[in-house]
Structure 1
């Protein structure tokens, strides 16, 4: 593997052959709402970590076209079952960026074998067993916003909007949203989004949303609330967080997605967590430490080989040195630029500064 000097250091996500380059990324849908980790620690963490990487690579292929994916790798107790899904109103570009953010954050649960993460625009879960039909669980919760307390008119509108979305979602591919104007006001509304994971049947989806709605309505009179359930997500707010409904020209289409990340991105997050595990294991047995060290090298190699060869100079040229005129917008973890490769392909480049050492790795 060769090294090159680039100023400044960066993380890049490239989306090639987009049917439509979204000019607006809207609200930062890649912002994390909550990370919930399991409570089982494997005897040898290197195996489930490697399985997790393979599972997420498989899911990423599905996310590019449908905004949803499930996959599994390995056998119990070290298997990795994964699920990722974007909420129904997220654009293709926003969905891919949200997915990669979730993928980089969920490994914070290691060495625990399992966890789930809710972002504003997507959800991800990984376990060592098949959980796809689960719709309730011990970690179901509501997170209430505490910015302002609303009057009775807003509370009535919020309840009505929640009921509308929750009623419609089970028969609408698990997704619905609602907007109900607040009585007596000129331009105030209650906004609601309800989304089940696509692995659930309509009846399980309905049961999950009914449970979530009861939980989230307990957040009133606060101006915002989110229900984070095992099988679904519900949010209400007095602020319009809903994305524009995609038209025929901007619906999800087939795209090719390539991720090229500096070592401080997903690789370091996963490997760093794994090294932390090895440090703990060092105090238990020298043998496990030595075995884990070899596995860490293999994992680094696996992660590096999953990337493709794009030089920084190529991307810099394609985006005209990341010129402001080529900026598409900003997501939850960096700025997106449009560019054109020498072969004519349009790309979107995700750039994120992470230190001042001006060094990056060429994969």
Structure 2
């Protein structure tokens, strides 16, 4: 069979076609921010690979279903020393599509921690963790730290605006189910300080605030540099002089769009096959300029179908 006559299975083109439909339907699609910030692997080796691996895969599959519906998921598979607890969450400004793309990237990377039985990965748009014990209520840990972007030094006015924005984000997130975004103009300039703060949804309000307050102490140590991230057991925080935040929909969150969920269900219930020649044309011969990222099914491309 020639390449031009081949059909590409639905699963392999799900993300690129889904992205095309969302764009056609004018649903807000932003940046999945799937860049890896840090991977932290555990130090305990798995107990029995023939049991551990299927448990891990089952946990990730269970979480995948939840992520496609709400951008958050927890699951437990197995028992005894080979039990696997998992958690994944996208940050509050990601759309449903962006969340799926970010999670797909995280899911391809976290298994690199094997043969250790635990690990976590922080991406700029989502978080994922797996362990052999229930960690859902943990909010501080020995690996907590700040990662600074040592590229541009800012003036004291930016530093002061950042401190204020971070403080506002901590207060707001504690009263907003663990999520906040803040933009604060730097006086006398055309710059702004942008801040995102997000706790994992398994934490209560007091644990969330405690996590963010500890994260604040670390992240402000990145000043006067223009970028900082706090990677904590129970939360993530970032500040920058660049607007990295996605636009929000009218309901105050860019995730959970009814249109996006309806389209996801439609595609899930469809049997879609496209000829290779059609996809080749739609992606400009799979040109890198049309590549959206790398997900669990391989490369993800933007397509334009005529």
The TM-score normalised by the length of structure 2 is 0.83
Matched, 1:170 2:174: yes
Matched, 1:90 2:94: yes
**For 1:194-246, what per-residue CA distance to the aligned partner results, in whole angstroms no more than 9, with x for missing partners?**
00000100111000000001110011111100000000000000111011112
Write the mapping of 1:284-323 to structure 2, written as runs, cut at 5 A. 313=275, 317=278, 319=279, 321-323=281-283
- Counterpart of 1:123 (choices 120, 124, 127) is 127
Measure the CA separation in 2 of the matches of 1:238 and 1:154: 8
Q: Check 1:170–1:331 CA distance in 2 against 1; reply closer, same or farther (3 A cut).
A: farther
Measure the CA separation in 2 of the matches of 1:219 and 1:329: 34
Q: Which stretch has the larger CA shift, 12-21 or 330-339?
A: 12-21
Give the Å deviation of 1:50.
1.1
**1:42 matched residue in structure 2:** 46
Measure the CA separation in 1 of the matches of 2:266 and 2:52: 25
**For 1:317-345, what per-residue CA distance to the aligned partner results, in whole angstroms no more than 9, with x for missing partners?**
4x5732459999643324433477xxxxx
Report if aligned partners of 1:196, 1:232 keep a CA contact under 8 Å in 2: yes
**2:33 matched residue in structure 1:** 29
Matched, 1:246 2:249: yes
Q: Check 1:17–1:227 CA distance in 2 against 1; reply closer, same or farther (3 A cut).
A: closer
Report if aligned partners of 2:63, 2:88 keep a CA contact under 8 Å in 1: yes
Instruction: State how many pairs are aligned.
Output: 287
Give the Å deviation of 1:47.
1.5
Measure the CA separation in 1 of the matches of 2:121 and 2:2: 34
Report if aligned partners of 2:22, 2:29 keep a CA contact under 8 Å in 1: no
**1:337 matched residue in structure 2:** 302
Q: Which stretch has the larger CA shift, 50-59 or 244-253?
A: 244-253
Q: Check 1:251–1:105 CA distance in 2 against 1; reply closer, same or farther (3 A cut).
A: closer
- Counterpart of 1:78 (choices 73, 77, 82) is 82
Measure the CA separation in 1 of the matches of 2:99 and 2:222: 28
Between structure 1 and structure 2, the one with the greater Rg is 1
Q: Check 1:329–1:182 CA distance in 2 against 1; reply closer, same or farther (3 A cut).
A: farther
**2:14 matched residue in structure 1:** 14
Q: Which stretch has the larger CA shift, 206-215 or 12-21?
A: 12-21
Measure the CA separation in 1 of the matches of 2:134 and 2:36: 24
Report if aligned partners of 2:34, 2:101 keep a CA contact under 8 Å in 1: yes
Q: Check 1:257–1:159 CA distance in 2 against 1; reply closer, same or farther (3 A cut).
A: farther
Q: Which stretch has the larger CA shift, 150-159 or 246-255?
A: 246-255
Measure the CA separation in 2 of the matches of 1:88 and 1:52: 26
Measure the CA separation in 2 of the matches of 1:84 and 1:63: 8
Give the Å deviation of 1:156.
0.2
Bigger share in helix: 2
Gaps of 5+ in 1: 260-307, 341-363
Structure having greater relative contact order (Cα 8 Å, sep ≥ 6): 1
**For 1:119-169, what per-residue CA distance to the aligned partner results, in whole angstroms no more than 9, with x for missing partners?**
010000000111100001111010000111111000000000000111110
